Amino acid sequence: MTGVTLVLGGARSGKTARALALAGTPPHVYLATAQALDGEMTDRIAAHRAERGPSWGVIEEPLEVADALGAVEPGTTVLIDCLTLWLSNLMHHGRDVEAETVRLVAALGAARGPVVLVSNEIGLGLVPMERLSREFRDAQGRLNQRIAAAATRVEFVAAGLPLTLKGGPPNQ
């Protein structure tokens, strides 16, 4: 695998499993944006660790994803999971989402190895009732569009099945 691949889908759609398959063989690093702020999230993180297996290096970085990506050894595949949690972290900490998105897109362009990014597609449902929820949904849609434009390959996963939206051979 080469270039930048974005894997989109809904909750529990199989996005991460697909991204792991696309990442291929070592060397690879899992760049995790999640934080274990409660027991349920601790369990989710443990399940993701078990799914990956011991061959994966791990970088835990909830905010400075662009910087972390730039520090990875050349030739290493990086799986960033996930942009949705990263966006939530940015908004929670009052960060400038547009500026951080620009930084991430630049880091993707300068990456010294393949990058696979996982993100939720949350714009397929009803318009949320609460203002903050609408702002988050809108920001997620804009973020996904920016990363998709920078990516060489984009896949949408539903029920564990990938659908190629951009680049590469169809639906492997």
Catalytic residue IDs: 48
What CA–CA distance (Å, rounded) separates 116 from 22?
8
Secondary structure of the chain in the HEC alphabet?
CCCEEEEEECCCCCHHHHHHHHHCCCCEEEEECCCCCCHHHHHHHHHHHHHHCCCCEEEECCCCHHHHHHCCCCCCEEEEECHHHHHHHHHHCCCCHHHHHHHHHHHHHHCCCCEEEEEECCCCCCCCCCHHHHHHHHHHHHHHHHHHHHCCEEEEEECCEEEEEECCCCCC
How far the first Cα of the chain sits from its last, in Å, is: 13
